[in-house]
Structure 1
Amino acid sequence: MESVTIISNNKIKEFLPKNVMNGGRLVNKDFVRDSVTLFPGTKKDASVVLYDKKTEITPITERNGKVRFDVNLKIKASVEMMKNDITREQYEAEIKRSIKKEIKKTYQYTQKRDIDLFKFSKLLYRKDIETWKRIEREGMIPLEDDTLRSIWVEVELQDTGKQKLSPIFEEQGDKGLENQ
Structure 2
Amino acid sequence: MIALFAVVCAWAIAILLTGQFLPQIVADLSAAATDSGTYDARVRSWINLINQSTDSGLSGIIFGQPMGIGFGRFEGVGRWVEFAPHNWYVTMYLRVGVLGLGMLIVFLLGVAARVLSNRRNMAALAVVVAVLVYGWSYSWPWYICLFFGWAVCQYRDQPTVQDVSVTVPRAPKIRITHLQERRWQT
Normalising by structure 1, report the TM-score. Answer: 0.22
TM-score of the superposed pair, with normalisation by structure 2: 0.22
Question: If you compute each CA radius of gyration, which structure gives the higher value, 1 or 2?
Answer: 2
Greater share of strand: 1
Higher RCO (CA < 8 A, seq sep 6+):
1
Bigger share in helix: 2
